[in-house]
């Protein structure tokens, strides 16, 4: 369970930095300052936590279900950004409402980064016994303030193509959704397994999927022919 949460936290940090690559340097720096201030100012609450309390939180199914709802909403918004951005890059002219939707989703940095930063602060306080809590918190805040713009710049240099960054962001959010499901289940089976297969229902779903694929392919071909006719007109 701890490993799943740790992997999820790493992916959340990666997603946060990757999302910043669509923003201007000034706003990346502003975002870094906000994260740093959050880390530096929450040390009073961080020192009240204990390892046993954190373990109890992770074992609490009701709390994990509540976190899963927040995680699902964030993943949905980030995936929507990927879809809208891909549509704008490939469709040419788009409606003004689509552009405004893209801008709003681009400005949404994500909320999961704050629980991750708080968890990192708690871990740093436990890892440095005898060190001033304020010193630990503000030192970590400086590290965060430096890491966010540098990490964003490195990702831009490594992956300069926006299309590839969109694909990676989409896939990493899908990974977070899967890890969220695993963390919510928490190693226990929610429903009783059933080995019987409803062949009628399975056949109906298969027919619907195949029909949908054919309809989508036909609609795409019709749209493609219309576009070719418009281009061939003098």
pLDDT digits (tens, 9 = 90+) for 83-93: 888 888 777 67
Q: Using only C-alpha atoms, what is the Rg of the chain?
A: 23
Tell me the C-alpha to C-alpha distance, in Å, between residue 70 and each of 34, 63, 126.
21, 11, 27
Confidence of residue 61 (pLDDT cuts 50, 70, 90): low
CA–CA dist 115, 136 (Å, integer): 17
Among 51-60, 88-97, 151-160, 224-233, name the most confident range. Answer: 151-160
* Nearest Cα to Cα of residue 43 among 113, 112, 116, 124: 124
Residues sharing a CB contact under 8 Å with residue 35, sequence separation 6 or more, in sequence order: 113, 114, 117, 144, 145, 148
Tell me the C-alpha to C-alpha distance, in Å, between residue 57 and each of 50, 62, 185, 188.
11, 9, 14, 16
Structure tokens at 34: 């906000």
With vertex at residue 155, the alpha carbon angle to CA 167 and CA 168, rounded to the nearest 5 degrees, is 15
Q: Are 8 and 178 in contact (CB under 8 A)?
A: no
E strand segments, the chain: none
Confidence of residue 16 (pLDDT cuts 50, 70, 90): very high
Q: Are 86 and 166 in contact (CB under 8 A)?
A: yes
- The more confidently predicted of residues 120 and 110 is 120
**DSSP annotation of 96:** H
- For position 189, what pLDDT does the model report? 42
CA–CA dist 165, 72 (Å, integer): 21
Taking the model in full, what pTM does it have? 0.72
Confidence of residue 232 (pLDDT cuts 50, 70, 90): low
CA–CA dist 61, 190 (Å, integer): 11
């Amino acid at each position: 369970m701890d490993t799943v949460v740790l992997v999820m936290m790493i992916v959340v940090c990666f997603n946060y930095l990757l999302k910043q690559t669509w923003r201007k340097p000034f706003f990346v720096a502003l975002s870094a300052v906000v994260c740093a201030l959050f880390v530096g100012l929450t040390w009073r609450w961080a020192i009240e936590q204990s390892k046993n309390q954190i373990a109890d939180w992770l074992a609490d199914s009701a709390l994990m279900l509540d976190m899963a709802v927040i995680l699902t909403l964030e993943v949905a918004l980030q995936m929507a950004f990927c879809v809208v951005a891909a549509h704008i890059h490939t469709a040419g002219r788009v409606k003004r409402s689509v552009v405004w939707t893209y801008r709003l989703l681009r400005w949404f940095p994500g909320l999961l980064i704050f629980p991750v930063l708080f968890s990192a602060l708690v871990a740093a306080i436990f890892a440095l016994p005898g060190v001033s809590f304020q010193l630990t918190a503000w030192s970590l805040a400086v590290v965060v303030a430096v890491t966010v713009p540098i990490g964003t710049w490195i990702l831009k240099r490594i992956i300069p193509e926006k299309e590839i960054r969109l694909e990676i962001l989409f896939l990493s959010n899908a990974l977070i959704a899967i890890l969220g499901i695993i963390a919510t289940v928490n190693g226990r089976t929610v429903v009783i397994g059933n080995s019987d297969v409803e062949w009628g229902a399975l056949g109906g779903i298969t027919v619907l999927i195949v029909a949908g694929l054919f309809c989508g392919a036909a609609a795409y071909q019709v749209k493609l022919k219309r576009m070719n006719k418009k281009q061939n007109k003098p």
